[in-house]
Amino acid sequence: MNSSRPHTELSEAPKIRLHAATDISASFRPLLEQGFCMQVEAGRTVQDVFCRQLAVAEDYLRDRVQTVFLNGKAVDDETSAIVEDGDRLALSAAMPGLAGATLRKGGFFSGFRSAISLQGTAGEKTRPAAAVITIKLFNMIAAEIGPLFLTRGIGIKGRQLTALWDRLGDDFWQRVDDADINGRPCGLIQLKSTDWGEAMVHLRLEAD
């Protein structure tokens, strides 16, 4: 996906901000697992994208994140795998059993998954100044660093947000102090009833 459309969609997406006195990020875990968009600089390594551009601690990526997939291929070395526009990245903590041991980056059993491992690094490509990538966070990774992405702001399809609103109960909405769309205050009833359809929206959380 090398067209400019994802950039346009994300840059022009309605900006939704939710403010709460307490951390409400756990309610948004389904969005983190389904996949969300972030704008980054293309042609950089996985480590650079997450640690230098998206502020994930290097030791966290190295030690806590045990499985990394780039476009469906397992990554063993975050310092050499290159991220390009339109790429898909998935991060997971250690998974149980033989499957988890096999998928673990640089693990003893990594040789058994050669068919789904990323081979080498990407060659020279046209590198736009900005790229839009899709990120998925699973298990404890979503819980631990999900708030980092949510406070920066994530791009998602409007239908994903509408589906989430429908599942959240009154206890969630009672914790939301205020909200705005494109910097203009809006009521929670208006926010919940807005149908964004397939359009991209930019969601950001703030907590005291």
Contact (CB, 8 A) for 41 and 53: yes
- CA–CA gap between residue 165 and residue 162 (Å, rounded): 5
In the predicted model, what is the mean pLDDT of the chain?
85
Closest CA to 72 of 131, 119, 142: 119
Q: What total number of domains does the chain contain?
A: 1
* Mean pLDDT in residue range 26-44: 96
* Mean pLDDT in residue range 131-157: 96
Which pTM was predicted? 0.84
| 110: containing domain | 5-207
Question: pLDDT tens across 15-26, in order?
Answer: 999 999 999 999
Coil/strand/helix, residue 179? strand
- CA–CA gap between residue 125 and residue 8 (Å, rounded): 21
Q: What is the pLDDT of residue 96?
A: 44
**Least confident interval from 7-16, 29-38, 103-112:** 103-112
Q: What is the pLDDT of residue 144?
A: 97
